[in-house]
Structure 1
Amino acid sequence: MPSISKFISKIGLRERRSHRSTQESPSTAPASALDRHPQGLDVVSEGTNPVVDIVVIHGLDGHREKTWTAKNGVHWLRDLLRVDIPEVRILAWGYDANTHAVSGTCCSFLYDHARTLVSDLNRRRKLTDSSERPIIFIAHSLGGIVVKSALIHSDAARQGALPEHRSIKLSTYGILFMGTPHQGGNGVQLGRILTNVASVFVPADDRLLKHLERDSEWLLQQLGQYGPISGEFVTKFAYENYKTPIALGKQIIVVPKASAVVPGQADVEPMAIYANHKNMVKFPSKQDVGYNTILENLQIMVKEAEAVIRARWEAERRAENARGNEMQFSLGFSLSEVNEVNHFVARQEQLIQLQGILTASRDRRIVVIHGLGGMGKTQLAIAFTKQNHESFSAVFWMNATDEETLKRSFLRAADRILQDCFPFTYLAHAVADSDIDEIVKAVKRWLSERKNNQWLIIFDNYDHPSLGGNTDRRNSWQRDSIASKEYDIRLFFPQTHHGAIIITTRSSTVKLGQTVRLSKLKQIEDSLSILESTSNRERLEEDPAAVDLAQELDGLPLALATAGAYLDQVAMSCTEYLKLYKESWGRLLESSPRLVSYEDRAMYSTWNISYQNVEKRNKSSAMLLRLWAYFDHDDLWYELLCGADESAPPWLQALTDKITFTESMRLLCDHGLVDTNTVTRKSEVGSLSYSVHGCVHAWMVGALHKQTDTEMVQLAARCVASLVPSTEDKEYWRIQQRLLQHVDRSFETMAESTGIPHFEPWINGAFGSLYADQGRLDKAEVMYERALQGYEKAWGPEHISTLDTVNNLGNLYADQGQLDKAEEMYKRALRGKEKAWGPEHTSTLNTVNNLGSLYKSQGRLNKAEAMYKRALQGKEKAWGPEHTSTLDTVHNLGSLYDDQGRLDKAEEMYERALQGYKKAWGPEHTSTLDTVNNLGILYKSQGRLDKAEEMYERALQGKEKAWGPEHTSTLNTVNNLGILYKSQGRLDKAEEMYERALQGYEKAWGPEHTSTLNTVNNLGNLYVDQGRLDKAEEMYERALQGYEKALGSPNFETYLPTLNTLENLGDFYQHIKKSELAKISYSRAHGGLRTVFGDNNERVQAILKKLETTHL
């Protein structure tokens, strides 16, 4: 038992603080805003024959000089950088972001500052004949947002809109963002991070702070506008590694790495600066690590910048010349043919990808945007077009739903051309003749003109392709009924090899160019943003029900917009909507308002149409989709259907052929209903898999099945249950984890539906075993009880299948701490098995082994030893000494000997079990890891703490990989590590382990399970060592009350963890001079230990000595 560390009494000390009121002398005039915050450009260094301009911008409440000056007075730009890179001109720009006094509040906000920066830079560079000199920006904190706004403004400058401002963006080679909050991260909203920044620099009631809080959404939109041009700059993201002091003695990481570093962009690099947010741009000497990091990056950038920017200006001049030739082909920008959402979110990665492909050259560029209906393909194309339309001479939006609709779009394009451009005769004649086919030809001819090479066409909703290349095996009537909408879109492409084309489609067969695959929104913040904008409700991120709704809709923009539109029109909470969505899916969506931005489509109409086409083409594919309603939406793979037996319907038997299965899935993928999971998860065994979006799955349940299909439910359950592995199978836990979500789906369907007969007993038993192994004991109990009822009804109470289930229920009750019920089950199973099989059958011996484990848990160690020895002798005779079932009992004997203090015998058993498991299963099998864990316990008992830690770490790593971090077997090792750390005096680490184990146990077992209570006891020991005596007593009392409730009498009085806690409580009371209470606890512990170990046991003698020396 762990010893109690020496108590250290601590007197609560109250920090005393003196308060001095300060008053400004009336005779002191306030400094002007310009004195406090110098504004505009200042030349820090002219440089020697400069080839690059380095421009530095301070952040909120920064200062043009002081921001860059260390405490020792070193201004690193002037005193260090000027010397180390003499060939650059260094410019510092200041602006009034100070808002400490209302009278000094600046009326300009970030965008105004950005335009001023561009204007100031442009003038200075024109006056010094350096307009094309490369620029490298260094921006601290919110100064980085000013820089991004400036570059957005500069990029937008065109003829008639301060075109000279465009020179700043063209000349910008690189940017060093120093602690700039670009985005939210790790669940923290951007607004919260901006508040952190403000808490360092300004008071909370400041006007600029309110602006930032109110307009953090605007800042996110800034990031969206900046994303497409960000790839043109070499970017370094510096982030702080130390906390910054703020008010009330607190310290925070102001801008965490997740906010300061934007992942996924090209030519970017994160850099750690070992300083806090304020000091990350104050370098006191050349020896400073942060300075050398910045210096080396700047030296590389300066070396490469000149050639890159020179080439960029040459390309700009060529483009200007070309634009002069293209004026006759230029059309005014219009998106009147399509409806856009009011608030487009996320998709920055895809926007950058589109820009990289479509604006790279004037040759023919084709991008296919592919995704599920409602995923936002059209809105992505709109967003790209709005951001980049100035890169194209003309933009045409074509509705490609079917051939006739597309031709009408060509007619509208012809009208626009004739209205805005030079009147080409062939186009005018075609329109005058009203011949739609001739109009299509004429528009294609216009697009093919040699100098007309900068147009963009969007073919939207090309969902019915007919591109050739595959043999169509359908019957002629099927071909005729489906082909009405199919056509080859290539017939509508201009002949010449120039221009840009975007195609949006649900069909995976459209492979005409580079594919941009659109999947669900990854960030919950983006989903909540759509809900907010469409429901006109604010601060939904603070509503747990809204977060749950967003998670349920799983990042599908159309589903989120539909939910938002409904909530906008009714007085209903997100909780109520989510309940309706789950219970009355079809009725809810039928009553939802139509969305103009989604072409007046109901959310499920596209899926209905796709399903009808699938049903006409392939009956097995359609039936598979119906069956899938009763599997989980994710991870359906070929082997899952192979459990179908001869009683299965013919269409399902056909799908057990791999080629037929693959063809059926390919058809579903072609129609955008199913996705291929191309990346194998670590836990996967078997084939690669397929998935459907959660909202599509809801449609499958609610629309393809108006009522629960009993036959399909049973069919899905049989498929899943047939794959549940035995624990004798290698890596059985991986198969279990892959099946778990499908077992959950069957369980939920059965629980939610009335009138469905229970699953067959073998299915219930298989599900019960899987749940038990995965630590889901409440569900395991339900399934085992149903299995038992089924077997007793079908076969009688003494059938072997009935008895196996009784044994398994005993295991379950033992795991739950219901030891009396476990003993009842084991004894019933043992009697039945001895009668059916005889006393030496291996099935009988398994129950004997289990009884041994129960007796050990009850503290009846002699009876436990007798059971284990009987089981071991029988298994060695039946299976041999190296069979894994034999080794299970060897392992258990080792644990028993450890409890008895026979450590050498325990080590012998553990080593034998470990070598056998490694030989049979390998080093990462869960049985191997259990023995590794127990060896750690043994080594700790022997005082070999380093070896114990090595065993625990090895076991923990393996269990987290096999079971996951929250499985109870993993938590057992976490708890053991806590005990070890406490023994080593590493109390903070011990508390971390105990808290993790306790939270996990309470979640898995409940607050009164014996495993939970063991950790409660351990926390009591830890609190004693930490001097937190009230908390320690609370933990001990909670543990004792819980043990008594879980075990009952008399088992409570001989249960070793109970006796440990009683002894711990006695030590506790003895220390705080409550000798009477100490004696009561020692007496109870002594009595129980005598019963368990006998009078001559060392531990019994030790507690007797404590009892005798306790003074009343």
Structure 2
Amino acid sequence: MPLIYSEGREQPQRRLREEVQKSVKGTHYNNFSITFSLSGVPETPHFVARDGEVAEIRRMLCSDGSRRIVVLHGLGGIGKTQLAATYINRYRDEYSAIFWLNIKDEASIQQSFARIAAQILEQNADVGSLKGLNLQQEHDEIVQAVKAWLSLPGNTRWLIVYDNYDNPKLPGRKTDAAVDIHQFLPRAHQGSIVITTRLSQIDIGHHIRIEKLKSEHESLQILSKASGRNGLQDDGDAKDLVRELDGLPLALATAGAYLKRVPVSIRDYTRYYQESWARLSGNLHLGSYADRTLSSTWQLSYEHVQAQNPLAAHLLRWWAYFNNEDMWFGLFCARSGMGPVWMKQLSEELNFNDAMGVLHDYGLVEPTTIFQRIQGYSIHGCLHSWAIHILNKEWDGRLSKLAVESVASQVPSNVGADYWLLQKRLIPHAIRSCSAVQDGDVPSNWAFHSLGNLYSDQGKLGEAEKMFLRALHGYEKALGPDHTSTLNTVNNLGALYSNQWKLGEAEKMYLRALHGREKALGPDHTSTLHTVNNLGILYRDQGKLGEAEKMYLRALHGREKALGADHTSTLNTVNNLGVLYSNQGKLGEAEKMFFRALHGYEKALGPDHTSTLNTVNNLGALYSNQWKLNEAEKMYLRALHGYEKALGPDHTSILKIVDNLGILYRDQGKLGEAEKMHLRALHGQEEVLGPDHTSTLNTVNNLGVLYSNQGKLDEAEKMYLRALCGYERAMGIDKITTYRPAINTLMNLGSLRSKQGLLGQARQYYQRASDGLERLLGPTHPDVQSARHTLELTYRTVEDGMSSSDDQHLPDPTQPRSSKKRSRDILKRVLGLHVE
């Protein structure tokens, strides 16, 4: 705009600056503006007042674009979520984009970020980091891409609500489902954030405590809106009721929903409420006045639901045996044919939908939507607790049994497409339904076996063992020790123990399963060959490579004959033979096996199936062993990204790939990236598997190698000794030389002692490692010859009195080597995903 000189020099300059700022601001809005969508944002039809809290949120979030965070905390049902939604509706025009995330658990977070990605792409199709992503599967990539978009320069006027942050990771507060919100915050210090939580310990942002409504006028407004009844401000009966409900918004809204549905006077409702409270408080220990208020309110609504639609009442009662979120028709009706009459009636979808509609009308249930489509239904956490402890005070063993069996019957086979998506959805219901089982009616043995498979596939090995043992004891008692169902569980326990590196227990299970199946089914039955294949894996892990090869070849020939050359079970054995040949140094034969398995899996299961990715990872290790580092990196990254999509970032299988990437980056000289990978793997394994699990110790050893390469010899020594002591505790001092990674640690300690000039100790470590390698691989194996050569040099050094300044002439096993002499241990640690 032209300058107006009559205003003087300073005033025109100020106006010019303002116009430039407006122009820049408008450009930023145009670049990053996302039309406001109600998707994911709760409705607030009965929300009133809270003007002081809204004003405080407004004051704290006003900024120049730098990061501002407000935490709304208070008890369940107090109105935190509604307050955040109200703030959004009131001030949405001041933000370029507004997003709502449910951060209750990992699955909810992933769904929320997928919804945000869809909103961004709908109006900004050229966002490079989001283009081409599968919004149903590529969860980790979606999170990172959305965070990157929110962190772009100039994109400062967005607002995000992180709702239901009720299970945070806090010091001294450990739970498997805990969430670390920092992983989901954008990197750049910009934008506005609102967090809702029941906890006051969240150490972030400005805290606002949300308390009960103190104004009788505000409580009457909620009651009036929810009930559709006017003129309550001067109604003495209404005032009596809101005093009873004591300013709890959820109780007021539920009471209002009841009064809207039922033509009863407010005085009568208050009387019903007081009578209900008296009945409840007479024999129950309710923790607080708020608990009693909500409980009585829900009791009245439940009784009326029961009178109007008995199926809806039965549905709500059975819900106590499942998780409170994401109930869907297919899960509910899975075992309805085995239940009472009302359950069979609810297995008709129209009846189910009608029942859910009634519960929704009374304010008890909310639909959960993904991409504008109803996926399931959820109930408030407080209401779920009431259903568990009060509505089901007389626990129904039959309902508990049917809940477990409903979840178990939905567990998909791990050879199906996208099986992991349904598995993730089932895990919360499996945890809740199993925790609800009490003495009395025990679920069927097949259900525990199926849930064992579910937990095992999801890397929850402790829970899987409990399920398999319950199934085994039940089968032995009901069917006998040699029944095929019993032997199936025995075989799966063997696989579980093998994954836990309890090799002695695994061998006992496998041999029992093999002998039983040979007797019951014959030596060439596919179930028998299944155990034969697993024994091959076990013998390989024990270093009995000759026995392993015999098992694999027997399984391969039998499966080719019974199932065909391209059946996935046949391909599993082909893949395992590839691993074995790699361990034996037969790299050409190994590559042939891996390529055959890979092409077969891609054709049968697709490029992103976990079995396919297992072989991709094995090929990466093979290329790394051949010193084809670029090809190895491509394979590892393909496997890593695929597994993160399928299983999540902290699954034990993924952590092993991450550790292998650390080895690769070390060999490429990228020591900073290598340390990041090893530390990520170590922290994840310590949390998931424990500090003394062999997979954890393998990563500890690899960190030692990295520190040695960086010249940090003290840190390297700590890592090596921790790994060695851990192996000895896990396997026994005499058994560690049967495990290749433990042998590597002995060699690494020998090299470290050589660098420190402690040649006598170096010789002792090299001697133990060399003897173990010879027993493991045979005297002609290149690695054995290399170890013997190193040992001979140490002996010669000691005899010749070589000074410590000449130690560099000794071979260093921790340094990168040629493909012929490079350690074969990588494949030993590769994934550990031994199929079947």
On whether the aligned pair clears a TM of 0.5, the verdict is: yes
Structure 1 gap ranges (5+): 1-45, 54-76, 92-132, 140-174, 189-220, 237-255, 267-344, 348-374, 386-394, 413-457, 467-478, 487-583, 595-600
1:788 aligns with 2:582: no
Structure 2 equivalent of residue 866 of structure 1: 550
1:829 aligns with 2:545: no
Structure 1 equivalent of residue 3 of structure 2: 48
- Report matched runs for 1:88-107 at 5 Å: 88=15
| Contact 2:703 2:716 survives alignment (8 Å) | yes
Instruction: Select the residue among 402, 405, 419 that pairs with 1:715.
Output: 402
1:603 aligns with 2:428: no
Q: CA separation of 1:953/1:377 partners in 2, compared to 1, >3 Å: closer, same or farther?
A: farther
Instruction: Select the residue among 258, 277, 289 that pairs with 1:592.
Output: 289
1:655 aligns with 2:323: no
Return the letter of the residue paired with 2:547: K
1:638 aligns with 2:329: yes
| Contact 2:369 2:375 survives alignment (8 Å) | yes
- Report matched runs for 1:1006-1017 at 5 Å: 1006-1017=690-701
SS at match of 1:620: helix
What displacement does 1:794 show? Answer: 0.6
Structure 1 equivalent of residue 277 of structure 2: none
Instruction: Select the residue among 60, 69, 72 that pairs with 1:183.
Output: 69
Q: CA separation of 1:1015/1:178 partners in 2, compared to 1, >3 Å: closer, same or farther?
A: same
| 1:187-219 deviation line (CA, Å, top 9, x unaligned) | 99xxxxxxxxxxxxxxxxxxxxxxxxxxxxxxx
Distance 2:533 2:230 in 1: 75
Distance 1:687 1:919 in 2: 34
Structure 2 equivalent of residue 887 of structure 1: 571
Instruction: Select the residue among 1035, 1058, 1061 that pairs with 2:742.
Output: 1058
SS at match of 1:1003: helix
Return the letter of the residue paired with 1:837: L
Q: CA separation of 1:1060/1:1098 partners in 2, compared to 1, >3 Å: closer, same or farther?
A: same
| Contact 1:1036 1:1061 survives alignment (8 Å) | yes
| Contact 1:856 1:864 survives alignment (8 Å) | yes
Structure 2 equivalent of residue 463 of structure 1: 257
Instruction: Select the residue among 925, 929, 935 that pairs with 2:619.
Output: 935
1:1048 aligns with 2:737: no
Deviates more, 1:739-748 or 1:729-738: 729-738
More helix by share: 2
| Contact 1:811 1:850 survives alignment (8 Å) | yes
Instruction: Select the residue among 484, 492, 496 that pairs with 2:264.
Output: 484
Distance 2:226 2:788 in 1: 89
SS at match of 1:839: coil
| 1:249-304 deviation line (CA, Å, top 9, x unaligned) | xxxxxxx99999452499xxxxxxxxxxxxxxxxxxxxxxxxxxxxxxxxxxxxxx
Structure 2 equivalent of residue 625 of structure 1: 316
Structure 2 equivalent of residue 491 of structure 1: none
1:699 aligns with 2:386: yes
| Contact 1:929 1:955 survives alignment (8 Å) | yes
Return the letter of the residue paired with 1:1008: D
Return the letter of the residue paired with 1:817: W
What displacement does 1:746 show? Answer: 2.0
| Contact 2:456 2:496 survives alignment (8 Å) | yes
SS at match of 1:631: coil
What displacement does 1:655 show? Answer: 1.6
Distance 2:87 2:326 in 1: 36
Distance 2:547 2:7 in 1: 86
Distance 1:990 1:981 in 2: 5
| Contact 1:890 1:913 survives alignment (8 Å) | yes
Return the letter of the residue paired with 1:767: L
Return the letter of the residue paired with 2:409: S
TM-score of the aligned structures, taking structure 2 as reference length = 0.68
Return the letter of the residue paired with 2:297: T
Distance 1:763 1:461 in 2: 40
| Contact 1:399 1:461 survives alignment (8 Å) | no
Distance 1:697 1:134 in 2: 55
| 1:706-726 deviation line (CA, Å, top 9, x unaligned) | 132211111111111111122
What displacement does 1:758 show? Answer: 3.6
| Contact 1:978 1:994 survives alignment (8 Å) | yes
Structure 1 equivalent of residue 93 of structure 2: 231
Instruction: Select the residue among 678, 692, 711 that pairs with 2:369.
Output: 678
Structure 2 gap ranges (5+): 26-60, 74-82, 99-150, 162-193, 197-209, 237-251, 267-281, 799-836
Return the letter of the residue paired with 1:662: N
Distance 2:709 2:338 in 1: 65
Q: How many residues are treated as equivalent by the alignment?
A: 626
What displacement does 1:776 show? Answer: 0.9
Q: CA separation of 1:259/1:828 partners in 2, compared to 1, >3 Å: closer, same or farther?
A: farther
Return the letter of the residue paired with 1:664: A
Instruction: Select the residue among 428, 435, 438 that pairs with 1:748.
Output: 435
Instruction: Select the residue among 397, 413, 417 that pairs with 1:730.
Output: 417
Q: CA separation of 1:670/1:645 partners in 2, compared to 1, >3 Å: closer, same or farther?
A: closer
Instruction: Select the residue among 929, 936, 953 that pairs with 2:637.
Output: 953
- Report matched runs for 1:290-301 at 5 Å: none
1:263 aligns with 2:158: yes
| Contact 1:47 1:87 survives alignment (8 Å) | no
- Report matched runs for 1:913-928 at 5 Å: 913-928=597-612
Give the root-mean-square deviation of aligned CA atoms: 4.2
| 1:631-688 deviation line (CA, Å, top 9, x unaligned) | 011111111123225431111111221211111112112211111111169xxxx982
Distance 2:3 2:601 in 1: 73
What displacement does 1:926 show? Answer: 0.7
Return the letter of the residue paired with 1:697: H
Return the letter of the residue paired with 1:48: L
| Contact 1:676 1:691 survives alignment (8 Å) | yes
Distance 1:136 1:1012 in 2: 56
| 1:879-910 deviation line (CA, Å, top 9, x unaligned) | 11100011111111111111111111111111
Which structure is larger by alpha-carbon Rg, 1 or 2? Answer: 1
Q: CA separation of 1:181/1:918 partners in 2, compared to 1, >3 Å: closer, same or farther?
A: closer
| 1:901-937 deviation line (CA, Å, top 9, x unaligned) | 1111111111111111111111111111111111111
Return the letter of the residue paired with 1:742: H
| Contact 1:585 1:698 survives alignment (8 Å) | no
What displacement does 1:462 show? Answer: 4.8
Return the letter of the residue paired with 2:3: T
Structure 2 equivalent of residue 62 of structure 1: none
SS at match of 1:715: helix
Return the letter of the residue paired with 1:88: R
Distance 1:381 1:1098 in 2: 85
Distance 1:973 1:51 in 2: 72
Structure 2 equivalent of residue 1034 of structure 1: 718
| Contact 1:399 1:460 survives alignment (8 Å) | no
| Contact 2:217 2:233 survives alignment (8 Å) | no
Structure 1 equivalent of residue 249 of structure 2: none
Distance 1:400 1:645 in 2: 38
What displacement does 1:586 show? Answer: 5.3
Structure 2 equivalent of residue 406 of structure 1: 230
SS at match of 1:676: strand
Q: CA separation of 1:51/1:1054 partners in 2, compared to 1, >3 Å: closer, same or farther?
A: farther
Q: CA separation of 1:225/1:996 partners in 2, compared to 1, >3 Å: closer, same or farther?
A: closer
What displacement does 1:829 show? Answer: 0.8
Distance 1:656 1:225 in 2: 41
Q: CA separation of 1:1002/1:381 partners in 2, compared to 1, >3 Å: closer, same or farther?
A: farther
Structure 2 equivalent of residue 149 of structure 1: none
- Report matched runs for 1:152-231 at 5 Å: 178=64, 180=66, 182-183=68-69, 228=90, 231=93
Structure 2 equivalent of residue 985 of structure 1: 669
| 1:992-1032 deviation line (CA, Å, top 9, x unaligned) | 11111111112222112111111111111011012221121
Distance 1:229 1:645 in 2: 47
What displacement does 1:460 show? Answer: 11
| 1:506-537 deviation line (CA, Å, top 9, x unaligned) | xxxxxxxxxxxxxxxxxxxxxxxxxxxxxxxx
| Contact 2:322 2:432 survives alignment (8 Å) | yes
Distance 2:682 2:21 in 1: 56
